[in-house]
Amino acid sequence: METHLTIGIPTCARPQAIKGCLDSLQKHLTVNHQIIVIDSAINDENLTLYKSIPHLKYLTFDSPIGPSEARKLIIEKTETKYLLFLDDDNEVTPGTVESMLSYIEKNPHIDILGSVWREYGDFEKRAVGQYFKFGQLNGKKTIYKDFLDFKKSQELELDSIKVDAVLATMLIQTKIFEQVQFDSRFDFFFELFDFFMQCYQHKKNIHVLPTAIFEHKPLTYSSSTLRQKTHADIDKQKFIDKWELQIIGSHGFKSSKKSKEVSSSRFKFKNLLSRK
C-alpha cells in the first residue's frame, strides 16, 4: 500500500516523552505511515528504541538544536503528501489521526488541519486556535491575537473552524512548503508564530478539527536544552525585526482564563487608540 503520511517528531532530552509518543503510535495508529524523529540529545536507550520500530527514520545530534531547525529537517526528509507534526510529549488517541487524514482528504482546500490537547485530563489549559489582529500604536504597526478556547470550539458545533494558527499537532499538505518554511534563526521561541505568519502572508487555509484529540503530557528535561539556554526576549526581537511588527499581549497558546485576561487588556488597548 502506498504511504501518504509521515509523522514528524522533534525531541531533545526527554526520553520518557518520546517513548510514550512512539508507543501511542504503535498502539493506536492504523493507517500506513512513516516516522521521522530528530533527536538532538541522543542516548543509547533512544537509539535502541528507534531501531526497533519499523518505518522509522532518525537523525541524531550530540548537542541540542531548536524545534524550528528540527522541523525544517523533518520537512526536508519528508516525501509524502501529508505530514503530521507531533511534539515528543504528545500521544495519539484511537482514531484521531485517521479522522484528521480523512477530513483533509475530503476537504483538499484545507492546507493545515489542527487539533485539541487534553493535558492530564484537562481540555482548557491550551487554546485550540488563534486569530491574528493588527493595529497601530505610537506610530508603529502592531499584532495581537484573539484566542479560540476548547469550550467555544465545542459550542459552535462546527465540523471544523477556520483560524490563523493551531497547536503544534497539525496535519499539513506538504505542497505548501514550496512557499512557507520553519525559520531556523528562532532558537526555541516564536518559531510557530513566525511559521503561521508566513501562512497568513501566503493565504494558507488553516482549520482546527474540534474532535481531534491528542494527549499532552509535558515532562521535565533530563539535561539542558535550548529552552533553558535561550531567552524568549531574544527570539521575540528576531520576530519583531523580521516582520516589523510590535507584539501586544500573549504570543503563545494560553489557557482560557489567561486568554480572557489578554482579551481584557486588548479592550483597554483599543480604548486607548480610540482616545488618540
Domains and CATH numbers, the chain: 5-131+148-220 (3.90.550.10)
Among 150-164, 184-198, 229-243, 250-264, the minimum mean pLDDT is found in 250-264
Average pLDDT over residues 265-274: 41
244: left (phi over 0), alpha (psi -120 to 50) or beta: left
Q: Please report, to the nearest 10 degrees, the dihedral formed by the alpha carbons of residues 21, 26, 32, 33 taken in order.
A: 30
**pLDDT tens, 82-96?**
999 999 999 999 999
Cell 509521515 sits at which residue? Answer: 6
How far CA 196 is from CA of 69, 99, 138, 193, in Å, comes to 16, 23, 26, 5
Residue 269 confidence (pLDDT) = 38
Residue 232 confidence (pLDDT) = 87
What is the distance of C-alpha 65 from the center of its chain? Answer: 17
Average pLDDT over residues 5-16: 95
The answer to whether 28 and 94 have CB atoms below 8 angstroms apart is yes
Q: How far apart are CA 152 and CA 166, in angstroms?
A: 15
